[in-house]
Amino acid sequence: MTKAIGREAASFFSVEEAASLLKVRDDTLRRWLRNGTLRGVKINRLWRISQAEMERLRHAEPPAEAQSIQDAESRVLEAVRRAGWSGDDERLRQELRRALREAPSSTCE
């Protein structure tokens, strides 16, 4: 019986583990759990996400929020290129993400 319980426990991920595997921030994953984008269960006030749910999300289209951010990144990159940027696009993407994280949420709405 303990083996079965151990296997069951191993098939659930904490928010931190799931966020790392999905390459998103912890707070993004918690928001997905609250708004229903991602299904999980709360055990002793801590969210747990099943292996099956992780697989479903990995193979699903990105959430609309993530897609709109990617679209915005692409539009900004295109505008920067038109303005004469000839540097590393990946570095510019990282700087844009950093700036957005640091910006007050009211300026990003």
- Among 100, 104, 108, 107, smallest CA distance to 25 is for 100
Give me the domains of the chain, ranges plus CATH numbers.
2-59 (1.10.1660), 64-108 (no CATH)
Confidence (pLDDT) at 101: 67
Distance (Å, rounded) from C-alpha 37 to C-alpha 30?
10
Burial of 18 (0-12, 13-18, 19+ CB in 10 A): buried
Confidence (pLDDT) at 1: 36
What tokens appear for 59 in the block? 């193979």
What tokens appear for 9 in the block? 């426990």
Which has more confidence, 104 or 32? Answer: 32
Summarised one tens digit per residue, pLDDT across range 41-85 is 988 889 999 998 888 877 776 556 566 666 777 777 777 777 777
